[in-house]
Structure 1
Amino acid sequence: MDQFFKLKEHGSNVRTEIMAGLTTFMTMAYILAVNPNILSAFGSGATGMDWTSVFLATALAGGIFTIAMGLFVNFPVALAPGMGLNAYFATVIMASQGKFTYQMALASVFISGIIFIILTVTKVRQMLLVAVPENLKHAITVGIGLFITIIGLKNSGIMTVAVEATKDIPAHKFTDVLSFETVIHMGSLKDPNVQLAIIGIILISVLMVLRVRGAILFGILLTTVAGLLMGQVDLKTLTSEKTTWVPDLSKLAFAHFDFAGIMNAGIITVIATFTFVELFDTFGTLVGTANRAGYMKNKEEGNRRVGKAMFVDAVGVSGGALLGTSTVTAYVESASGIAEGGRTGLTSVTTGVCFLLSLFLAPIAALIPGSATAAALVVVGLLMMQAIKEIDFQDFVVAIPAFLTIVLMPFTYNIANGISFGIFSYVVLATIANISGKSRYNVHWLMWVLAVLIVLRYILIGSEG
Structure 2
Amino acid sequence: MDRLFKLREHGTTVRTEIIAGLTTFMTMAYILFVNTLFLGEGGAGIPNQAVFFATAVGAGLVTLAMGFFVNIPIALAPGMGLNAYFMTVVLSSGGDITWQTALGAVFLSGIIFIILTVTKVRQLLLSAVPNNLRVAITVGIGLFITIIGFKLSNILMVSVNPDDKLDVSKGAVLNTNQFNIILGDFIHNKDSLLTIIALFLIAILMAMKVRGALLIGIVAATLIGIPMGVTNVKGLSDASWLPSFDNLAVGKLDIAGAFGVGIVEIILVFTFVELFDTFGTLVGTASRAGLLKDKAKGEKLIGKAMLVDAAGVSAGALLGTSTITSYVESTSGVAEGGRTGLTSVTTGVLFLLALFIAPLALVVPSAATAPALIIVGVLMMASIKEIEWGNFVEAFPAFLTIVLMPFTYSIANGISFGIVSYTVLAALYNTTASKRVPLHWLMWVLSILIIARYIWLGAA
TM-score (norm 2): 0.95
Aligned position for 1:127: 124
Query: How far does residue 6 in structure 1 lie from its aligned partner after superposition?
Result: 0.4
Question: Are residue 368 (structure 1) and residue 368 (structure 2) matched?
Answer: no
Give yes or no for contact 1:99–1:265 (8 Å, CA) kept in 2.
no
Q: Deviations over 1:349-381 (max 9, x none)?
A: 000000001000011111111101011101111
Q: Secondary structure at the match of 2:261?
A: coil
Structure 1 counterpart of 2:23, one-letter code: T
Aligned position for 2:167: none
Aligned position for 1:34: 34
Give yes or no for contact 1:240–1:363 (8 Å, CA) kept in 2.
no
For 2:238 and 2:411, locate their aligned partners in 1 and report how far apart those are by CA, in whole Å.
Answer: 36
Alignment map for 1:27-426 (pairs within 5 Å): 27-40=27-40, 43-44=41-42, 46-163=43-160, 177=178, 183-189=180-186, 190-239=188-237, 244-426=240-422
Structure 2 counterpart of 1:26, one-letter code: M
Aligned position for 1:6: 6
Query: How far does residue 251 in structure 1 lie from its aligned partner after superposition?
Result: 2.8
Give yes or no for contact 1:77–1:289 (8 Å, CA) kept in 2.
yes
Structure 1 counterpart of 2:261, one-letter code: A
| More displaced 10-residue stretch of structure 1: 8-17 or 293-302 | 293-302
For 1:254 and 1:362, locate their aligned partners in 2 and report how far apart those are by CA, in whole Å.
Answer: 19
| More displaced 10-residue stretch of structure 1: 90-99 or 252-261 | 252-261
Give yes or no for contact 2:105–2:266 (8 Å, CA) kept in 1.
yes
For 1:419 and 1:149, locate their aligned partners in 2 and report how far apart those are by CA, in whole Å.
Answer: 17
Query: How far does residue 318 in structure 1 lie from its aligned partner after superposition?
Result: 0.2
For 1:438 and 1:268, locate their aligned partners in 2 and report how far apart those are by CA, in whole Å.
Answer: 45
Give yes or no for contact 1:239–1:363 (8 Å, CA) kept in 2.
no
Give yes or no for contact 2:309–2:324 (8 Å, CA) kept in 1.
yes
User: Any gaps of 5 or more consecutive residues in structure 1?
Assistant: 167-173
User: Any gaps of 5 or more consecutive residues in structure 2?
Assistant: 165-174
For 1:3 and 1:22, locate their aligned partners in 2 and report how far apart those are by CA, in whole Å.
Answer: 22
Q: Secondary structure at the match of 2:246?
A: helix
Aligned position for 1:171: none
Q: Secondary structure at the match of 2:292?
A: helix
Structure 2 counterpart of 1:457, one-letter code: R
CA RMSD in angstroms, aligned pairs only? 1.6
Give yes or no for contact 2:160–2:176 (8 Å, CA) kept in 1.
no
Distance 1:114 1:240, change over 3 A: farther
Give yes or no for contact 1:234–1:367 (8 Å, CA) kept in 2.
yes
Query: How far does residue 175 in structure 1 lie from its aligned partner after superposition?
Result: 8.3
Aligned position for 1:169: none
For 1:203 and 1:119, locate their aligned partners in 2 and report how far apart those are by CA, in whole Å.
Answer: 44
Aligned position for 2:171: none
Q: Secondary structure at the match of 1:125?
A: coil
| More displaced 10-residue stretch of structure 1: 31-40 or 419-428 | 31-40
For 1:412 and 1:270, locate their aligned partners in 2 and report how far apart those are by CA, in whole Å.
Answer: 20
For 1:138 and 1:237, locate their aligned partners in 2 and report how far apart those are by CA, in whole Å.
Answer: 44
Q: Secondary structure at the match of 2:12?
A: coil
Q: Secondary structure at the match of 1:250?
A: coil
For 1:316 and 1:375, locate their aligned partners in 2 and report how far apart those are by CA, in whole Å.
Answer: 29
Give yes or no for contact 1:192–1:232 (8 Å, CA) kept in 2.
yes
Query: How far does residue 230 in structure 1 lie from its aligned partner after superposition?
Result: 1.1
